[in-house]
Amino acid sequence: MKDVIIIGAGIAGLTAAHELHKEKLDFQLLEPSYRVGGVIETLELNGNLIEAGPHTFSSFSADVLGIVKDLGIQDELIEANPTAKKRYVCLNGNLMPVPANPQEFLKSELLTKDAKWTLLEEFVLPPVSREESVEDFISRRFGREVLKGLVQPYLNGVFAGDVKKLSANAVFPKLKELESKHKSVGLGLLLSSIENILKARKPLTLHSFKKGMEFLPNSIYEEVKNKVTLSVKDIEITRAKDFFIVTFKANNKTINYTTNSILFAIPANRMNEYGYLFPDEYLSDFKSIEYAPVATVTQLVDKSNIKTSLDGFGFLCTYEVQKKLLGTIWTSSIFPDRGKDDKAILTSFIGGAHFKKISELKEEEISNIVSRELADVLNISNPELLKTIYIRVYEHAIPQYNMGHLDTVKRIEKLMDTKYGVFFAGNYLRGISINDTVKSSKSAVGRIKDFLKTVIKEEALVK
């Protein structure tokens, strides 16, 4: 009898495998694809190292760096070029630097003088405890210019979402917490930055690996290889009294495992395939989580053809009905070793909640839209100077934390705590980033360990 069967070998499933391996628990990880990593995928095309999905992870939480340390792969880590701290917002077609400190903020043209003055009112506004959309929360506390010029572009980069539908409580839980604790988000932020200075907390850094982001999932895979089955088909799970029977096909054989628990580390929108295992109300929770499609488009351009200096991480766009681009990462500025000769590598993101049609377009159409809009923003005289080398369309790229999301998550967490033996991890719970996904997986493993203790106790009683 296995302790756990993990379904899905993205970073959520692999993290669980790594943690269970450390705990010396018996598990098997099943993955339908021929590779591990899920959306984390690095490719080498004609000597250019490019990322189909995530480009970096931040030092914000110690979880991913902890796994890096466990695996002994610290020497393979790389840090983003320090200039990548500079970020731009594309507002009305112009690139404007995102202010990094109060002096820059006062000078910034991203907000009008009136909008900056309005910010002072935030310190005396009464808090609101009910759930609010991002639009309502941000415009109530900081005004609509902050929503349009700063928050919406930021969320284009994280959720590719719609501020009218996204829940502020799920997307900005810390800001809502500061509001209720200090009666003002601004005051709360001020106090926490003073605390950061006093505690000499290190500033955030962005990381990748010499061989690209996929090096992380591949390294976990190397550690637990003999407990991973790739290219599996027709997974079927049946509940037998107080354990599960998992049947699947791999290498033209039908394989069966019995297991005490199952960890689903797959996207919420795929849970319906296993919905017969739970009461209907839980299935509708998984179904209620919408996904936004996103395409990533990697292009090369001669640096000499760009009239704008690529001195930063890239830019994110404000929402304009007629514009489709969400933002562009200046890949070869963040990691200068990745650009070849005099060419810049640019990775653009397009699609999201406002442009779901992206997944129906042909690659050529996607490439043309990106070239046209990007040439405009970066002052490239002719869109044809941008050569598209890779396009990846994710039909269900990013789960949307829309209104009601936290209640949905609480119910899913309750299902894990019913001692039924099913557990869930992934980016659709409490954070989209790789750090948050890893955290969700570690938390599921904690619950699994507690559950297994009760199973072992019951087994001992039976004997």
Ligand X SMILES: Cc1cc2nc3c(=O)[nH]c(=O)nc-3n(C[C@H](O)[C@H](O)[C@H](O)COP(=O)(O)OP(=O)(O)OC[C@H]3O[C@@H](n4cnc5c(N)ncnc54)[C@H](O)[C@@H]3O)c2cc1C
Contacts of 3 (CB under 8 A, 6+ apart): 20, 25, 26, 27, 259, 260, 261, 448, 452
Measured from the CB atom, is 153 or 267 closer to ligand X?
267
Return the range that interacts with ligand X (CB under 6 A); candidates 189-197, 259-267, 372-380, 453-461: 259-267
Is residue 402 close enough to count as binding ligand X by CB under 6 A? no
Q: How far is the CB of 362 from ligand X (least distance, A)?
A: 19
User: Residue 180: how many CB atoms within 10 A of its CB?
Assistant: 12
**Which residue of 16, 18, 53, 175 would you call a contact of ligand X, by CB under 6 A?**
53
Is residue 394 close enough to count as binding ligand X by CB under 6 A? yes
Mask for 277-306, x = binds ligand X (CB under 6 A):
-----------------x-x----------
Q: How far is the CB of 380 from ligand X (least distance, A)?
A: 23
Is residue 54 close enough to count as binding ligand X by CB under 6 A? yes
Look up tokens 């570690």; give the residue: 442
Is residue 212 close enough to count as binding ligand X by CB under 6 A? no
Give, in order, the Cα–Cα distances in Å from 262 to each of 228, 259, 277. 14, 7, 11
**Which residue of 133, 332, 347, 437 would you call a contact of ligand X, by CB under 6 A?**
437
Give, in order, the Cα–Cα distances in Å from 148 to each of 143, 231, 358, 459. 9, 44, 23, 58
Return the range that interacts with ligand X (CB under 6 A); candidates 33-41, 221-229, 242-250, 283-291: 33-41
Give the total of residues touching ligand X (CB under 6 A). 35
Is residue 265 close enough to count as binding ligand X by CB under 6 A? yes
**Which residue of 147, 166, 266, 325 would you call a contact of ligand X, by CB under 6 A?**
266
Q: Which two tokens stand for residue 462?
A: 């039976």
DSSP letters for 67-126: HHHHHT-GGGEEE--GGGG-EEEEETTEEEEPP-SHHHHHH-SSS-HHHHHHHHHGGGSP
Q: How far is the CB of 164 from ligand X (least distance, A)?
A: 22
Name which of 139, 119, 166 is nearest 402 in CA terms.
166
**Which residue of 163, 427, 439, 445 would you call a contact of ligand X, by CB under 6 A?**
427
Beta bridge mates, 254: 249
Interstrand relation of 243-250 and 206-209 (parallel, antiparallel or unpaired)? unpaired
Measured from the CB atom, is 179 or 223 closer to ligand X?
223
Return the range that interacts with ligand X (CB under 6 A); candidates 169-177, 261-269, 335-343, 353-361: 261-269
**Which residue of 2, 3, 10, 175 would you call a contact of ligand X, by CB under 6 A?**
10
Contacts of 168 (CB under 8 A, 6+ apart): 131, 132, 133, 134, 136, 137, 138, 175, 176
Give, in order, the Cα–Cα distances in Å from 268 to each of 172, 247, 283, 297. 21, 21, 9, 25
Mask for 335-374, x = binds ligand X (CB under 6 A):
----------------------------------------
Instruction: Tell me the C-alpha distance between 439 and 457, whole Å.
Output: 28
**Which residue of 80, 170, 224, 434 would you call a contact of ligand X, by CB under 6 A?**
434
Q: Which two tokens stand for residue 316?
A: 């994110």
Residues that bind ligand X (CB under 6 A): 7-13, 31-33, 38-40, 53-57, 235, 265-267, 270, 273, 294, 296, 394, 397-398, 426-427, 432-434, 437
